[in-house]
A = this chain, B = another copy of it.
Amino acid sequence: METIIKEINDRLEKIITTTIKKGDVQDAMLYSVMAGGKRLRPLLLINTLRSYGVDYHPYLDAACAIEMIHTYSLIHDDLPGMDNDDLRRGKPTCHKQFDEATAILAGDALLNESMNVILRMNINNDLKIHLLQILYKASGMNGMIYGQQQDMYFEKHQATLEELQDIHHYKTGCLIAAPLAMAGAICAPADQEKLSDLGFTLGLAFQIQDDILDVTSDTETLGKPVGSDIENHKSTYVSLLGIEKARAYEEQLFQSCLEKVYGLTFNHGLMIEMINKVMKRVN
Contacts and interface: CB of A to CB of B under 8 A. Distances in A.
Nearest to A116: B136
Contacts of A140: 20, 109, 112-113, 115-116
A119 interface: yes
Contact of A119 (B116, B129, B139, B142): B129
A262 interface: no
Which residue, A141, A142, A152, has most C-beta atoms of chain B within 10 A?
Answer: A141
A243 interface: no
A80 B141 CA distance: 23
A126 B119 CA distance: 11
Nearest to A139: B112
A102 B81 CA distance: 9
Interface residues of A, number: 50
Contact of A105 (B80, B95, B101, B148): B148
Contacts of A108: 72, 76, 107-108, 111, 145
8 contacts: A20-B141, A21-B146, A81-B101, A82-B100, A82-B101, A109-B141, A112-B145, A119-B136
